Structure 1
Amino acid sequence: MTKRALLSIVLAFGLLAGSRTLRAAEEGALPPAGTNVGDRASLQRGARLFFNYCVGCHSIKYARYSRIAEDLGLGEQEVMDNLNFTGAKFQDPVVSHMPADLAQQWFGKAPPDLSLEVRAKTADWVYAYLNGFYLDPTRPVGWNNRIFPNASMPFPLWELQGVQVAVRQPGSEEIDRLSMAQPGKLSLAEYQRAARDLTAFLEYVSEPAALQRHRYGIWVLLFLVGFTLLAYALKREYWKDVH
Structure 2
Amino acid sequence: MKRFLMALALLIPAAAIAAGYSGPLDKADIDLKDKASLQSGAQIFMNYCLGCHSMEYQRYQRTFEDLDIPLDLGEEFLQFTGDGVGSHKFSAIDEEASADWFGLTPPDLTMVARVRGADWLYTYFRSFYVDESRPFGVNNEVFENVGMPHVLQELQGVPRKTWERRMVDGEMKEVYVGIKSDGTGSMSEEEFDQAMLDLTNFLVYTGEPMILERQRMGMFVIGFLLVLLILSIMLKKEYWRDVK
Bin the TM-score by the shorter chain: 0.7 to 0.9
2:148 equivalent in structure 1:
153
Kept after mapping to 1: 8 A contact 2:52/2:106: yes
Query: What is the CA–CA distance in structure 2 between the aligned matches of 1:146 and 1:39, rounded to whole Å?
Result: 29
Q: CA 1:113–1:24 in 2, change beyond 3 Å: closer, same or farther?
A: closer
CA RMSD of aligned residues (A): 3.0
Counterpart in the other structure of 2:196: 195
Q: What residue is the counterpart of 2:208 in the other structure? A: 207
Measure the CA separation in 1 of the matches of 2:61 and 2:24.
37
Who is 2:181 aligned against?
Answer: 180
C-alpha deviation, 1:89, in angstroms: 2.1
- In the alignment, structure 2 segments of 5+ residues that lack a partner are 1-17, 166-174, 236-244
Give the C-alpha shift of residue 169 in structure 1.
8.4
After superposition, the Cα gap between the structure-2 partners of 1:162 and 1:91, relative to the gap in structure 1 and judged at 3 Å, is: same
Aligned to 2:238: none
Taking the aligned partners of 1:138 and 1:175, their CA distance within structure 2 comes to 20
Cα deviation for residue 215 of structure 1 reads 4.1
Report deviation, 1:75.
2.4
Please list the CA deviations of residues 13-61 of structure 1 after superposition, one character each: whole Å capped at 9, or x if unmatched.
Answer: xxxxxxxxxx989532211011111222211110011001110010111
1:1-243 maps to which residues of 2 (within 5 A)?
26-167=21-162, 177-217=178-218
Residues 61 and 87 (structure 1), Cα distance of their counterparts in 2 relative to 1, 3 Å cut: closer
Aligned residues: 218
SS at match of 1:27: coil
**Identity across matched positions, percent:** 40
Alignment partner of 1:144: what SS?
Answer: strand
- Structure 1 residue 162, shift from structure 2 partner: 1.2
Q: Hey, what's the Cα distance between the residues in 1 that align with 2:80 and 2:90? A: 10
Contiguous gaps of at least 5 residues in structure 1: 1-22, 235-243
Deviation at 1:232, TM superposition (A): 11
The one-letter amino acid paired with 2:201 is: A
Q: How far is 1:223 from its partner?
A: 6.2
Residue identity opposite 1:207 in structure 2:
E
Q: Distance in 2 between matches of 1:57 and 1:201?
A: 17
Whole-angstrom CA distance in 1 between matches of 2:177 and 2:119: 20
State how far apart, in whole Å, the 1-side matches of 2:202 and 2:40 are: 8
* Contact map agreement 2:21 2:142 (CA 8 A) in 1: no
Corresponding position of 2:5: none
Q: Distance between the aligned counterparts of 1:24 and 1:136, measured in 2?
A: 22
**Aligned equivalents of 2:201, 2:96: Cα separation in 1:** 31
Deviation readout 1:99-150 (Å, 9 max, x if unpaired):
1121122222211111111111110000001000111221111111111111
Q: Tell me, what secondary structure is at the counterpart of 1:179?
A: strand
Q: What is the Cα deviation at residue 157 of structure 1?
A: 1.1
Secondary structure of residue in 2 paired with 1:51: helix
How far apart, in 2, do the equivalents of 1:101 and 1:24 lie? 28
CA distance in 2 between counterparts of 1:81 and 1:232 reads 59
* Of 220-229 and 26-35, the range deviating more from structure 2: 220-229
Structure 1: distance between partners of 2:29 and 2:184: 24
Separation in structure 2 between the aligned mates of residue 232 and residue 45 of structure 1, nearest angstrom? 50
Q: 1:190 to 1:228 in 2, by over 3 A?
A: farther
Secondary structure of 1:34's aligned partner: coil
* Corresponding position of 1:8: none
Q: Aligned partners of 1:214, 1:81: CA distance in 2, in Å?
A: 33
Q: Secondary structure at the match of 2:186?
A: coil
